[in-house]
């Protein structure tokens, strides 16, 4: 296995270790409820947040939940919220809690995602699924899961969906970050950005595929800022506003600079992670106290990845 593959595997193992250290992640079982985020956007809060964009003639669902039962829940919520008969489904990235519920949506649902995301799913999806199946918390949700249905539509960098009544959703691939193929969705009349893992609310970011990169991630964030969204809807943390984009970039750049200085000074990756975890707790107390994610435990993988990307 390549060093990049080891980095990915090590990161996912660190996720599961963090879950054990902190008790557990939020339950993978999605509730049957939703809350209104803006005029045309609703959300089911969970692992992950599932988002519904409601137009007069069609609905777009973003992400599925983990496995068949959660996909069925998301589909039922979408049906209750929908005004029109047509249903679109997309996924922020290929990880199982975001994409493995696709088979439970009605067969007429139009599944659309970036072509590069489908390619990454085919390349790395089964390996990632294995880690989830080895987790006592997540494995039950994946029982009986058959091969995931392929998308009906793939696109390159940008696609626009007309959901009726002036509601449009712009689906975007802006570059690698958390994975090699993260998708972002801009709901234009609401100025709402569905940001996946690319923009979170006080959550330590993580590269979790062989093609992801913090260097590219920062480029994506720089491309997002001119969109000036009023609302940002992450997939593993609370809804916020457009300032989350700048906050995410500032955090990565701060830690990136600290890691580079330590590496130049001959400090090992392990020692850098120990030192910067203490810096994190002191300088980012709100992040360290955030119960949406095991942030303190996540610092080890985060710093290790920054260290591997830093110049020698």
Render pLDDT for 120-142 as a digit per residue (tens, 0 to 9).
999 999 999 998 999 899 999 99
Radius of gyration of the chain (CA): 19
What is the per-residue pLDDT across 271-295, written as a single tens digit (0 to 9) for each? 999 999 999 999 999 999 999 999 9
- DSSP β-bridge partners for residue 87: 59
* 50-74 pLDDT, tens digit each: 999 999 999 999 999 999 999 999 9
pLDDT in tens, 258-276: 999 999 999 999 999 999 9
Average pLDDT of every residue of the chain: 92
| Residues 177, 213 contacting (CB under 8 angstroms) | yes
Q: Using pLDDT thresholds of 50, 70 and 90, give the confidence band for residue 151.
A: very high
Whole-number pLDDT of residue 123: 94
Q: Which CATH number fits domain 3-242: 3.10.180.10, 3.60.15.10, 2.40.30.10, 3.90.340.10?
A: 3.60.15.10
Q: HSE on the CB side for 230, CA within 13 Å?
A: 9
- pLDDT, position 24: 57
pLDDT at 203 over 50: yes
pLDDT of residue 27: 87
The structure's pTM equals 0.92
Lowest mean pLDDT among 113-117, 159-163, 298-302: 298-302
Using the structure block, give the residue that is written with the tokens 């990845």: 305
- Residue 12 above 80 pLDDT? no
List C-alpha distances in Å: 118 to 9, 31, 247: 20, 28, 30
């Amino acid at each position: 296995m390549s060093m990049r593959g080891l980095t990915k595997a090590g990161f996912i193992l660190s996720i599961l270790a963090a879950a054990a250290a902190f008790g557990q992640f939020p339950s993978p079982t999605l509730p049957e409820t939703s809350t209104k985020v803006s005029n045309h956007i609703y959300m089911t809060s969970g692992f992950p947040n599932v988002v519904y964009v409601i137009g007069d003639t069609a609905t777009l669902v973003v992400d599925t939940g983990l496995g068949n039962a959660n996909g069925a829940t998301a589909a039922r919520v979408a049906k209750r919220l929908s005004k029109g008969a047509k249903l679109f489904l997309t996924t922020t990235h290929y990880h199982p809690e975001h994409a493995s519920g696709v088979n439970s949506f009605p067969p007429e649902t139009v599944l659309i995602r970036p072509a590069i995301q489908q390619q990454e799913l085919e390349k790395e999806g089964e390996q990632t699924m294995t880690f989830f199946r080895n987790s006592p918390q997540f494995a039950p949700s994946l029982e009986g899961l058959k091969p995931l249905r392929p998308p009906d539509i793939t696109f390159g960098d940008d696609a626009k969906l007309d959901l009726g009544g002036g509601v449009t959703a712009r689906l975007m691939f802006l570059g690698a970050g958390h994975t090699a193929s993260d998708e972002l969705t801009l709901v234009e009349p609401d100025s709402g950005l569905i940001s996946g893992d690319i923009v979170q609310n006080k959550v330590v970011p993580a590269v979790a595929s062989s093609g992801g990169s913090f260097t590219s991630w920062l480029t994506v964030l720089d491309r997002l800022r001119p969109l000036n969204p009023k609302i940002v809807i992450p997939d593993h943390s609370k809804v916020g506003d457009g300032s989350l984009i700048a906050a995410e970039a500032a955090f990565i750049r701060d830690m990136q600079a600290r890691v580079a200085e330590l590496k130049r000074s001959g400090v090992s990756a392990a020692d850098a992670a120990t030192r910067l975890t203490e810096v994190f707790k002191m300088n980012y107390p709100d992040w360290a106290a955030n119960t949406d994610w095991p942030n303190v435990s996540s610092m080890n993988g985060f710093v290790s990845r920054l260290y591997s990307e830093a110049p020698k």
